[in-house]
Structure 1
Amino acid sequence: MALPPKPWPTGLCEELEPLVRRVLAPNASPYTFTGTQSYLIGTEQGLTVLDPGPNDPQHLAALEQAIGSAKVTAIACTHTHRDHSPAAAPLAQLTGAPVIGCGAVIIKSDEPRADAPFDLDYTPDHVLEDGECLAGPGWTLTAIATPGHTSNHLCFALNESGALFTGDHVMGWSTSVVAPPDGDMADYLASLDRLYQRDDRIYYPAHGPAITKPKQLVRGMIGHRRQRERQIMRLLEQDSHELAQMVTLMYKGLNEGLIPAASQSVKAHLLDLEQRGLVARSGDIWSAI
């Protein structure tokens, strides 16, 4: 999806529905669309700030202004990529609210800087389990474990309105990147299927517009991943390939800056197919079985 024309509502507090407001961070990029969207959920008497975003003074000032005199009872994160959780600590210091949400990620891997996209300073006061709730006057947020994009990813359902905050698991502008070793394609597809079984009214993602036809989009995303899987199998049934060769053949005309993300997703598919006994590798060469 192409970027919408400027001006974007960066730093502005937008009311989306009675219990939900949104503030866009100034961190637009090829991976974040127009930026990370932080959500303020609740009322003056009790408010959760979801995905506070990057530790950026301009964004923190915008969040402080949007909070105003409201009582912040929790700061929650869907996951700990650097565009989502670094503002949690300074916002907690500012408001006195605890950081409650996803757990921290610890990556055990021989890959160089496998933890680079993550906020390694993230320290939650309480980690929400699947199905556990945050609540305030007139609202309840239920945590839904949705691993795949990251192992610690949570979505949050606003029970009173039928809204689901989907973080990066389902976005309004692009499919998610699934980057091993922490990202896992089998988990990602299982999490998509879990959301497909739900009846949420609307999705509010961390990037891109609200999703008003959730089931239709999720069904399309599952279909897209299965299509990629079939594409990989066709290539490997014709000949063995290195990962880089496969990406070149599969993503013709792709923006050069997005090639690393495409490579990670293809690798995630290959690892899933390997686990299922459909492909094998010898060194850097992948082959169909």
Structure 2
Amino acid sequence: MKILVSTRQMMLLEALASESRVRMIELLDKRPMNVKELANALGFSSAVVTKHVQKLEDAGIIRTESLTGTRGRQKVCHLRLDSITLQFRAPAAPPVPNRYTTSIPIGQYSDYRIMPTCGLASRSKIIGMIDDPRYFADPERMKASLLWFGSGYVEYRIPNYLLSNQRTRSVSISLELCSEAPGFNENWPSDIHFHLNEVFIGHWTCPGDFGRNRGVHTPDWWEYGTQHGLLKSIQLQPEGTFIDGVRMSDVSIRDVPIRYGEDIRLRLSVPETAKNCGGLSLFGRHFGNYDQDIEVAITYEDS
């Protein structure tokens, strides 16, 4: 047992600051003894020994048990600890990992290939025409606060600010999303796939397309079904990939090539071949239940 010498450990330190109690520890090192045996060995009364025993027990140095003896109950004392290491200097705090964050608007995708149903909306209007994939190239897409498609993918570029001598330790991605059904259908599963730098890191099955309750931040003019999604947090770590803390795959940060001078590519997709090809709705600021875009946090260390 290792303890830091501090005022929080006064009970233990005071328990050892007595020659009588140290002699009791020496006796108990040989064998367990009851209070009367300790009193006889030390030349004290049982009442005095009982007080010392209480001090040692409160400090966690010994333990006692009540057993039936020839003349009623007796308290038998046992050493509880084998050793204590006193530490006078507090250990240095672990270094805080280097970290940077970035926020990516959902309309700032760098590539896409999608199939209807599909569309884009800003906080004030529909962008282009609904169910026409050509409008995913419209310059106004940069203002999008909601996008949706039936199958396919959108891909984003995460800025890579690492220097050549630095290595990524983890990537965390937070985003609000759900399935995409015509209108809405809260029982509409969709297998949403996640890729990082073309490495498939796992998929999550969204249970539905949520439209029964209005989104907290969904604008009043929006009357087209889907109202909000679920906020999901994806963490790519040395131990694997997790979604909301639950293992999604065994793919670790070491399995994803993140190179100096190259952006990190995040792809969100619903393949036509997926068991549950239920589309994707992605929410940004001013839409849904969470007023955020795609939030990314990257930790790193010097290599």
Judge same fold: TM > 0.5, yes or no: no
Larger strand fraction of residues? 2
TM-score normalised by the shorter chain: which range applies? under 0.3
> If the length of structure 1 is used for normalisation, what is the TM-score?
0.21
Larger helix fraction of residues? 1
